[in-house]
Structure 1
Amino acid sequence: MNFPGRLDISAPIEFPDLFGDSFIRNPYPWLDLLRSESPVHHDPVTGLWLVSRHRDVRQVLLAPDLFLPDNAQHAITALPVSVLRVLVRAGFTLPPALANNGTPSHPGLRRVATRFFNAQRVAEAVPVIERIATELLADVKSQLAATGSCDLFTSYAQVLPCRVLMELLGIHGVDPTTLIRWSDASLELFWGRPSPERQLELAELVVAFHQWLTETVRTGWVSSESFMGALSRHRLPDGAPLDAETAVAVCFFVFVAGQSTTGQLIVTALRRALVDPGIWPRTASEAGLAEAWVEETLRREPPVTTWRRVTARPTEVDGNELPAGARILLMLLGSGSDPKVFPDPERMCPNRANVRHHLAFGAGRHRCPGASLARTEAALALRAAARALPDARLSAEAAAPPMLGLLSFRAPLEAAIEQP
């Protein structure tokens, strides 16, 4: 599936609105233009420096002491006083924990996360993923039989990683749809451009999410062998036990990354497999193809499209002088289509020799600790769906789905299928 259109680079660069429909629907021509004409580009609307070439993005990611992660979870749209009051009254706080942590506490907290999502645990999760996928796909088949159509996003891709994460983390007593709503609200509030009225609605949901996490961490009703149990035993560099606020911040990030972004990856991989000739039936039976397809999806169309950094001191990127405090936006989506690294980047090429050189999970000290689990879930989800629904095809109205278009997250919000 190729994306049409090239841009006239003879005219001065006038980069589009990062939240605009034209960019969200087809960002590739703009990203090609950035890489070729202005690889370190200052966006006057957001005040961000857009870094788009693979080598430059990687350079920034591998120098976390110079390019700090402190702003990674800041709200991109200023929060009005009314929203701040809601958050403050509820005691909402997200101290440095994982993605936004450049302090000495980060290595230890990261070890807790990487140990919990290590290769052994991912392997042990495979039957859990397969069981939940089978259950959800049985419901999908029933809906197809009853109505002739079904949305694989809301019925399958979105729910699967949430239920898997709940089992892996030992979470009970809350409905998956509630966790999904809380997680999606968090993404929109901090990475979107909602209206003030919408910000108030989102803040109430984010507060409910934070309060539930806080209660779960403080009461300790989860298993001592769970992720939260591991956090409760963790000690900071000075030997003090991990404070509840930071433990909540760790869980907040893990929940959002472990369910929302993984669901976005799954639905993107499913849609692209359904429209690329011959791929869908092959993923059902061809060994390794689902894994290779997911990897190409991560390269070309990752759910996490950008990430932020801030300069600790004056520095240079690709010959461009940046002052201390410069806010940087790393164009992860664009880096995966850099032709100097990935030849013929617009084509989906399973088993591309260097595909794992993509930066969809970041690089270096802050690389996503759940990368292996996300890859495994997406590949198993694709294979299971192709086997259960061999004749599935996207419905005509699903050709141009609504899109999630946040600063750092992009994915189709629909994958309506029908049976011939």
Structure 2
Amino acid sequence: MRQALANASAAAAGNDTMERFDARVNRGECDVSVKTRIRWIGRHGVARVVIGRAHRKGDLHARILSDPAARADPYATYDEIRARGPLVPGRLMMQAVSHEAVTSVLRSDAFAVGFDPDEMPWVARHLLTRVAADERIVGPIDPPSLLVTNAPDHTRYRRLVSRVFTAKAVEALRARVEERTTELLDAMAARPHGEPVDLVAEFASLLPVTVIAEILGVPLDMRRQFLTWGSMAAPVLDIGLSYRQFVESETALEEMSDWMYSHFERLRREPGDDIVSKLVHLDDESGKLDDRELLAIAGLLLAAGFETTVNLLGSGAVLLIENPEERVALAADPSLWANAVDEMLRYESPVQATSRRSIRDTEVCGVPVKAGSFVTAMIGGANRDPDVFPDPHRFDVRRSNAREHLAFSSGAHYCIGASLARLEGEIGLRRLFERFPDLSLAGKPSLRGTRTLRGFDTIPVHLNSNRPAEREPHAV
């Protein structure tokens, strides 16, 4: 794979040599647009070449990344990969799809997150380290983000966040989630009767972004702006973005970063009772968090508490609309709701895949893995493993082991926002279907174009309810 990357790096870079780039940088002639294009080549342009070649040669992982039909419904491809063994070699990287193999990769200390620049082809390494760095931006795949940080830094950051983002703090948000859910449902009920509603725009996105805004100490009137930034930045988790997608993502991350830096300064002067205020003022034996570290953690909380929950709420609603017998079961036995949310997470994992790099020679399920190898842990496939989940392609709110899913990852990088996502999923979806028991699709839902994140952009629905607006929250 390294030789393929090296060849692709040269192809993606075109006729400009590294020497010419260096000369332009040293003379101050390399403007922002040129630097952006260089970053795109190093991060995505090379990958696009490699993915395209792998797809043409029949690589199944590349099929999911390149083929819109396979991306829209990847589960048959997951089954095909799983049938080849617990850990399957590929032209891009090794692929783990079985529940056992994915769990092993995610929990093993023989694997790390992120790239090691020293192991990259020299052209890509030069691009990323010589001219591609942009200190203004801290995206979800930029250090010191917890998603790409390993011990001991990851341990320190997570310990600091865990001190303020506790189970007690999340449970204290229950009343707010109830209140915000009621407000959003009231607003939908007030729409003209019979008028279709986009469930994503009016509910699935607004509930988590409103809650996370309160966690971050962000004014509520900024929530639509955060929705825009989040939607534009979400593709950055994918590999092989087009140049246009990359520019849009970087623009959103830069704007959000600038706003958050100013926000930290405000919170230093006027702290609130929100979690970020507490992080800003942390000062103990672990040391203070600088602005880049604060931005990385705030960005992670935004992604963990918002992006994945939008997908959970949207996919969960569609699953219940399309499986009315499961709605009947939940109405008859509301105690099933918590399990139903886990089944939604299993069946349509909001995060479909993550990758790991082996830091020493090891093995996974008896398959040797050399140091420096990359493995894609296909979470969406592991959650449909028939060896763990009987009849895995059936949505079943009564499934006894639904909670064994890996939608929140596993091991050291287990999602820090898991409890909040479950809370919002259970309250939001239960209240939605209690309020609008005849909720139905008003058109075909539209899937997001992202590869790593799976969910819907739009879900047109008919509320089909003449019930008066309910002002008192239900107990959950």
Match of residue 55 from structure 1: 100
Match of residue 5 from structure 2: none
- For the structure 1 residues 26 and 190, does the alpha-carbon distance in structure 2 shift closer, same or farther, using more than 3 Å as the test? closer
Report the count of equivalent residues. Answer: 395
- For the structure 1 residues 159 and 139, does the alpha-carbon distance in structure 2 shift closer, same or farther, using more than 3 Å as the test? same
CA contact (8 A) 1:108 1:236 kept: no
Structure 1 residue 109: deviation in Å? Answer: 1.9
Structure 1 residue 281: deviation in Å? Answer: 5.2
Structure 1 residue 86: deviation in Å? Answer: 9.3
CA contact (8 A) 2:64 2:70 kept: yes
Structure 1 residue 255: deviation in Å? Answer: 0.7
**Residues 1-400 of structure 1 correspond to what in structure 2 (within 5 A)?**
14-15=59-60, 16-44=63-91, 47-63=92-108, 65-71=109-115, 88=134, 90=136, 92=138, 94-145=142-193, 148-172=195-219, 174-191=221-238, 193-219=240-266, 220-221=268-269, 223=271, 225-234=273-282, 239-280=286-327, 282-284=329-331, 286-395=333-442, 397-398=443-444
Supply the distance in 1 between the matched residues of 2:107 and 2:395 (Cα, whole angstroms): 27
CA contact (8 A) 1:133 1:384 kept: yes
Matched, 1:407 2:451: yes
Structure 1 residue 173: deviation in Å? Answer: 6.5
Structure 1 residue 177: deviation in Å? Answer: 1.3
One-letter amino acid matched to 1:129: V
Supply the distance in 2 between the matched residues of 1:390 and 1:372 (Cα, whole angstroms): 26
In structure 2, the residue corresponding to 1:99 is in which secondary structure?
Answer: helix
One-letter amino acid matched to 1:139: A
Displaced runs of 4 or more, over 6 A: 84-87
Structure 2 unaligned residues grouped into runs of 5+:
1-56, 117-123, 465-476
Supply the distance in 1 between the matched residues of 2:367 and 2:132 (Cα, whole angstroms): 41
Structure 1 residue 419: deviation in Å? Answer: 4.5
Supply the distance in 1 between the matched residues of 2:209 and 2:138 (Cα, whole angstroms): 23
CA contact (8 A) 2:347 2:384 kept: yes
Supply the distance in 1 between the matched residues of 2:434 and 2:441 (Cα, whole angstroms): 16
- The percentage of counterpart residues that share the same residue type is 26
Supply the distance in 2 between the matched residues of 1:112 and 1:285 (Cα, whole angstroms): 42
Cα RMSD over matched residues? Answer: 2.8
Q: Say which is worse superposed, 200-209 or 260-269, in terms of deviation.
A: 200-209
Supply the distance in 2 between the matched residues of 1:229 and 1:374 (Cα, whole angstroms): 21
Structure whose CA Rg is larger: 2
CA contact (8 A) 1:301 1:333 kept: yes
Supply the distance in 2 between the matched residues of 1:312 and 1:386 (Cα, whole angstroms): 47
CA contact (8 A) 2:107 2:411 kept: yes
The structure in which a higher percent of residues are helix is: 2
Name the TM-score, length of structure 1 as normaliser.
0.86
One-letter amino acid matched to 1:367: Y
Structure 1 residue 176: deviation in Å? Answer: 1.0
Supply the distance in 2 between the matched residues of 1:288 and 1:192 (Cα, whole angstroms): 40
Supply the distance in 1 between the matched residues of 2:371 and 2:284 (Cα, whole angstroms): 29
CA contact (8 A) 2:279 2:289 kept: yes
Supply the distance in 1 between the matched residues of 2:321 and 2:369 (Cα, whole angstroms): 44
CA contact (8 A) 2:446 2:459 kept: no
Match of residue 5 from structure 1: none
Structure 1 residue 188: deviation in Å? Answer: 1.1
Q: Say which is worse superposed, 280-289 or 136-145, in terms of deviation.
A: 280-289
